[in-house]
């Protein structure tokens, strides 16, 4: 097992290097003079020269890349061109906001998706099965930015149940400790604020959860259908085991393996979906951080933001791979 | 394949025409209601994109401020936007933009991906290692982020959005066809072709490629769905189509200010995206079940 983990981590090295190289290219591949493009048409020669110096654009590319890598290894993600702050310290609150939203969305997706899939398989061809699968099909085809806007229109503007945007009530601001507001408000015993944070999470969380919920539901259903036909499930039923236990205890355990793959993959994709959801709901997460950076042509932030998200994505996939062995003892890695 | 057998044996071989693989696939495709529904939706939108613009009531960029933000009516079926433009006309024109982007982005990525995948699968060794690592790296990015990176380099426009979407989908096709080639190249007819001294290029073109195409067709149909959503997403973020192009995602972005007063500006473009994507998804699922049951996960 340890061997396998080591091997997987080693395999990651070329991928991570390649990723960093692609991200490194983002500034260098800008057509024309990157410094000129970043600063705009009105930039003076001096300011262009200064920016080129700052970004190291005058050096040969391999020196630039080596310097960039060296920086990454020491946790230096560069400096924001707009705020002149180190990105590594600036990025954390945004990242925390995204993680909180993504985890919230994933919890919704897993609870709803897995259960809907199980019930659909359990009562195959029932009206529940049909309705759930039609909804899932629409969910997969749903542009989440559209869904987000519809949610705002219905639940915020018309019904006034939930806030349209943001993470907190601006008149009752939260003092951040970890920047995970759910945790921060609990630590501080501010249960009123905890409720407000939850309210803010619901609409973007549901929008972000839609596609994973649909995919998890479909996957769970087909996986459960297969397992339910197997001999050991028949045996369990034959010996008079309650159906609920057969489904949730015996069948689910084996049906979960392919579902887990999907969950892992979807968790990574959530990070991509977050950029849209965060834009709609003005959620101050990393997607919005990158999106705003594009508007300001803050290329160092674009670079590092994308790198950080991709890094998390790769790590999630690694963790999912390793989790297989824990769930399915039959899988032995050499 | 039968041509080759004929050449080798010198005898014409009578192939049972009754149930060719395509016919069989069509039979099973026909049986699936959802696949037919999907095909119907796709055909509808394709026709809309091709001939629809000839019949729409209003020029897409004709502004009429006295008619701004009008609710749907017999004159304006889907209402009007903030410039008094007819939303129905714009959606019909938008179909052309979205389908063009979806279709060509997928064609480009399928061609480039298939090329890289075939080379990597057929030649193996270091070429395979390099290409496969390259795919791994690209797949390590969430796709929309990679698209955003590409567009932020090239600058926002519909054409650059198309390029970005084409690039991010290359590894999907590449990996798929690589694995198919790995199995096809072990087939006897490929060995036979090699034994009679056929050149690599000819084997690749005449035997490996046609026999590896089915998963590409299936993946292609499904990819058009994602490409349309990705193009709309880029348009929505202001990184794709520019004003006054009637691109669906861009129209949604413009509707944001009028959620309360003119929800029809939000509803119809979104519905158009969703229906088109649903159509391609249903059709793709149907094609997969009919052509390549093994791909079903």
Q: What is the DSSP letter of A126?
A: S
Which of B42, B131, B153 to mutate to test binding with chain A, by most A CBs within 10 Å of its CB?
Answer: B153
Q: Is B190 a residue whose pLDDT tops 90? A: no
Which of A8, A17, A41, A146 to mutate to test binding with chain B, by most B CBs within 10 Å of its CB?
Answer: A146
Per the CB < 8 Å rule, is B142 touching A310?
Answer: yes
Backbone angles phi, psi at A161, to 5 degrees: -85, -40
Q: Are residues A153 and A43 in the same domain?
A: no
Which chain A positions have a beta carbon within 8 Å of B145's beta carbon?
271-272, 275, 290, 306, 309-310
Q: At A49, is the pLDDT very low, low, confident or very high (cuts 50, 70, 90)?
A: confident
Per the CB < 8 Å rule, is A290 touching B263?
Answer: no
Which chain A positions have a beta carbon within 8 Å of B266's beta carbon?
146, 149-150, 153
Q: Are residues A106 and A83 in the same domain?
A: no
Mean pLDDT of A70-96: 84
Per the CB < 8 Å rule, is B277 touching A141?
Answer: yes
Mean pLDDT of B165-179: 91
Q: What is the pLDDT, as a whole number, of residue B7? A: 52
Burial B165-190 (b: 16+ CB within 10 A, else e): bbbbbbbbbbbbbbebbbebbeeeeb
Q: Is A320 a residue whose pLDDT tops 60? A: yes
**What residues of chain A have any CB closer than 8 angstroms to a CB in chain B?**
14-15, 18-19, 22-23, 26, 29-31, 137-138, 140-143, 145-146, 149-150, 152-153, 157, 219, 222, 258, 268-269, 271-273, 275-276, 279-280, 290-291, 294, 299, 302, 306, 309-310, 313-314
Mean pLDDT of A148-172: 84
Q: Are residues A112 and A261 in the same domain?
A: yes
Q: How far is B13 from chain A (nearest CA, A)?
A: 41
Q: At A231, is the pLDDT very low, low, confident or very high (cuts 50, 70, 90)?
A: confident
Beta bridge partners of A86: A79
Closest to A114 in 3D by CA, of A255, A246, A231: A255
How do the residues of chain A divide into helix, strand and coil, expressed in percent and rounded to 5?
75, 0, 25
Expressed as residue numbers, the domain containing A119 is 95-327
Nearest CB to A141; choose among B237, B239, B278: B278
Q: What is the pLDDT, as a whole number, of residue B11? A: 59
Beta bridge partners of B80: B86
Q: How far is B269 from chain A (nearest CA, A)?
A: 9
Mean pLDDT of A193-201: 85
In this structure, chain B runs to a length of 297
DSSP A19-69: HHHHHHHHHHTSSS-HHHHHH-TT--HHHHHHHHHHHTTTS-HHHHHHHHH
Domain-ending residue, one of A63, A89, A115: A89
DSSP A269-319: HHHHHHHHHHHHTT--SHHHHHHHHHHTT-HHHHHHHHHHHHHHHHHHHHH
Q: Which of A88-97, B2-11, B95-104, B187-196 has the lowest mean pLDDT?
A: B2-11
Q: At B1, is the pLDDT very low, low, confident or very high (cuts 50, 70, 90)?
A: very low
Mean pLDDT of A38-66: 80
Per the CB < 8 Å rule, is A140 touching B281?
Answer: yes
Q: Are residues A295 and A149 in the same domain?
A: yes
Q: Are residues A78 and A135 in the same domain?
A: no
Domain-ending residue, one of A89, A112, A127: A89
Count of helix runs (H) and strand runs (E) in chain B: 13, 0
Per the CB < 8 Å rule, is B137 touching A268?
Answer: no
Q: Is the dihedral of CA B119, B120, B121, B124 positive or negative?
A: positive
Q: Are residues A145 and A278 in the same domain?
A: yes
Closest to A220 in 3D by CA, of A129, A143, A144, A147: A129
Q: Is B6 a residue whose pLDDT tops 60? A: no
Q: Is A13 a residue whose pLDDT tops 80? A: yes
CATH number at residue A299: 1.10.3720.10
Q: At B296, is the pLDDT very low, low, confident or very high (cuts 50, 70, 90)?
A: very low
Q: What's the token pair of residue A184?
A: 């921060």
Q: Is A312 a residue whose pLDDT tops 80? A: yes
Q: What is the pLDDT, as a whole number, of residue B279? A: 93
Q: Are residues A150 and A39 in the same domain?
A: no
Mean pLDDT of A18-38: 80
Q: Are residues A38 and A68 in the same domain?
A: yes
Q: What is the pLDDT, as a whole number, of residue A109? A: 92
Q: Which is more confident, A309 or B297?
A: A309
Q: How far is B255 from chain A (nearest CA, A)?
A: 9
Q: Is A80 a residue whose pLDDT tops 70? A: yes
Q: Are residues A116 and A29 in the same domain?
A: no
Rounded Cα gap, residues B91 and B53, in angstroms:
9
Nearest CB to B233; choose among A140, A145, A149: A145
Q: What is the pLDDT, as a whole number, of residue A197? A: 84
Q: Is residue A334 part of a domain?
A: no
Q: Are residues A51 and A161 in the same domain?
A: no
Q: What is the pLDDT, as a whole number, of residue B228? A: 92
Which chain B positions have a beta carbon within 8 Å of A145's beta carbon?
232-233, 236, 249, 252
Domains of chain B: 45-295 (1.10.3720.10)
Q: Is residue A332 part of a domain?
A: no
Q: What is the pLDDT, as a whole number, of residue B295? A: 53
Q: Which of A32-41, B227-236, B278-287 has the lowest mean pLDDT?
A: A32-41
Q: How far is B42 from chain A (nearest CA, A)?
A: 14
Which of B33, B133, B142 to mutate to test binding with chain A, by most A CBs within 10 Å of its CB?
Answer: B142
How many percent of chain B have pLDDT more than 90? 18
Q: What is the pLDDT, as a whole number, of residue B13? A: 57
Q: Is residue A323 part of a domain?
A: yes
The count of domains in chain A is 2
Q: What's the token pair of residue B27?
A: 């039979």
Q: Are residues A105 and A71 in the same domain?
A: no
Residues 6 or more apart whose Cβ sits within 8 Å of residue A149:
A280, B252, B255, B256, B259, B266, B270
Query: For chain B, what is the mean pLDDT?
Result: 82
pLDDT in tens, B125-145: 899 888 988 888 888 888 888
Which of A27, A141, A216 to mutate to test binding with chain B, by most B CBs within 10 Å of its CB?
Answer: A141
Q: What is the pLDDT, as a whole number, of residue B15? A: 53
Q: Would you call the peptide bond into B244 cis, given omega within 30 degrees of 0 as the criterion?
A: yes
Q: Is residue A108 part of a domain?
A: yes
Mean pLDDT of A20-36: 79
Q: What's the token pair of residue B211?
A: 């026999």
Which chain B positions have a beta carbon within 8 Å of A102's beta carbon?
none
Q: At B293, is the pLDDT very low, low, confident or very high (cuts 50, 70, 90)?
A: low
**What residues of chain B have any CB closer than 8 angstroms to a CB in chain A?**
34, 133-134, 136-138, 140-146, 148-149, 152-154, 225, 229, 232-233, 236-237, 239, 249, 252, 255-256, 259-260, 263, 266-267, 269-270, 273-274, 277-278, 281-282, 297
How many CB pairs below 8 Å do chains A and B form together? Answer: 127
- Predicted TM-score of the model (pTM): 0.84
Q: Is B297 a residue whose pLDDT tops 50? A: no
Which of A145, A257, A296 to mutate to test binding with chain B, by most B CBs within 10 Å of its CB?
Answer: A145
Domain-ending residue, one of A89, A123, A138: A89
pLDDT in tens, A266-284: 887 787 788 889 988 888 8
Taking every pair of C-alpha atoms in chain A, what is the biggest distance, in angstroms?
A: 84
Per the CB < 8 Å rule, is A279 touching B137?
Answer: no
Q: Are residues A19 and A74 in the same domain?
A: yes
Closest to A181 in 3D by CA, of A169, B131, A128, A171: A169
Q: What is the pLDDT, as a whole number, of residue A334? A: 46
Q: What is the pLDDT, as a whole number, of residue A107? A: 92
């Amino acid at each position: 097992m340890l061997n396998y983990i080591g091997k997987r981590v080693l395999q990651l090295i070329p991928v991570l290097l390649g990723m960093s190289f692609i991200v490194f290219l983002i500034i260098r591949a800008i057509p024309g003079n990157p410094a000129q493009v970043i600063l705009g048409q009105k930039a003076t020669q001096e300011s262009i020269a200064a920016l080129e110096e700052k970004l190291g654009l005058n050096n040969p590319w391999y020196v630039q890349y080596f310097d960039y890598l060296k920086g990454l290894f020491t946790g230096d993600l560069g400096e924001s061109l707009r705020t002149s702050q180190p990105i590594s310290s600036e990025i954390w609150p945004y990242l925390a906001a995204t993680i909180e939203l993504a985890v919230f969305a994933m919890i919704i997706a897993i609870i709803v998706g897995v259960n809907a899939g199980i019930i659909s398989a359990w009562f195959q061809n029932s009206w529940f099965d049909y309705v759930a699968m039609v909804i899932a099909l629409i969910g997969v085809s749903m542009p989440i930015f559209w869904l987000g806007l519809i949610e705002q229109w219905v639940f915020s503007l018309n019904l006034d149940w939930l806030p349209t945007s943001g993470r907190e009530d601006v008149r009752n601001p939260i003092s951040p400790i970890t920047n995970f507001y759910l945790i921060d408000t609990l630590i501080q015993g501010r249960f009123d604020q905890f409720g407000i944070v939850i309210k803010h999470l619901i609409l973007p969380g549901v929008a972000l959860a839609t596609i994973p919920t649909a995919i998890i539901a479909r996957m769970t259903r087909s996986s459960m259908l297969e397992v339910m036909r197997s001999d050991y499930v028949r045996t369990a039923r034959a010996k008079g085991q309650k159906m609920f236990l057969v489904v949730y205890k015996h069948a689910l355990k084996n049906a979960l393996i392919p579902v887990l793959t999907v969950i892992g993959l979807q968790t990574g994709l959530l990070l991509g979906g977050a950029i849209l959801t965060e834009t709609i709901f003005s959620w101050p997460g990393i997607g919005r951080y990158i999106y705003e950076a594009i508007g300001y042509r803050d290329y160092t932030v674009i670079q590092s933001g994308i790198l950080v998200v991709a890094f998390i994505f790769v790590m999630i996939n690694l963790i999912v791979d390793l989790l297989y062995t824990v769930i399915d003892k039959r899988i032995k890695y050499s | 394949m039968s041509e080759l057998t004929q050449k080798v044996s010198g005898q014409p071989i009578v192939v049972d025409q009754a149930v060719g693989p395509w016919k069989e696939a069509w039979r099973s495709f026909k049986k699936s209601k959802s696949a037919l529904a999907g095909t119907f939706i796709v055909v509808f939108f394709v026709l809309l994109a091709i001939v629809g613009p000839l019949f729409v009531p209003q020029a897409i960029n004709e502004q009429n401020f006295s008619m701004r933000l009008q609710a749907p009516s017999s004159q304006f079926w889907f209402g009007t936007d903030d410039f008094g433009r007819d939303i129905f006309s714009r959606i019909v024109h938008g179909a052309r933009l979205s389908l063009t982007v979806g279709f060509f982005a997928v064609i480009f990525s399928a061609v480039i991906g298939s090329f890289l995948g075939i080379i990597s699968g057929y030649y193996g060794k270091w070429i395979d290692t390099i290409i496969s690592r390259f795919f791994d790296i690209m797949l390590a990015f969430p796709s929309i982020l990679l698209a955003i990176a590409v567009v932020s380099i090239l600058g926002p426009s519909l054409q650059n959005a198309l390029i970005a979407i084409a690039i991010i989908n290359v590894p999907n096709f590449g990996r798929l066809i690589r694995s198919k080639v790995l199995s096809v190249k072990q087939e006897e007819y490929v060995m036979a072709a090699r034994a009679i001294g056929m050149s690599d290029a000819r084997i690749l073109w005449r035997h490996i490629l046609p026999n590896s195409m089915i998963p590409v067709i299936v993946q292609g149909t499904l990819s058009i769905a994602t490409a349309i959503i990705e193009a709309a997403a880029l348009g929505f973020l202001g990184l794709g189509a520019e004003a006054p192009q009637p691109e669906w995602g861009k129209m949604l972005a413009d509707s944001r200010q009028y959620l309360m007063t003119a929800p029809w500006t939000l509803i119809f473009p979104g519905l158009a995206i969703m229906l088109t994507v649903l159509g391609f998804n249903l059709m793709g699922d149907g094609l997969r079940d009919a052509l390549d049951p093994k791909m079903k996960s």
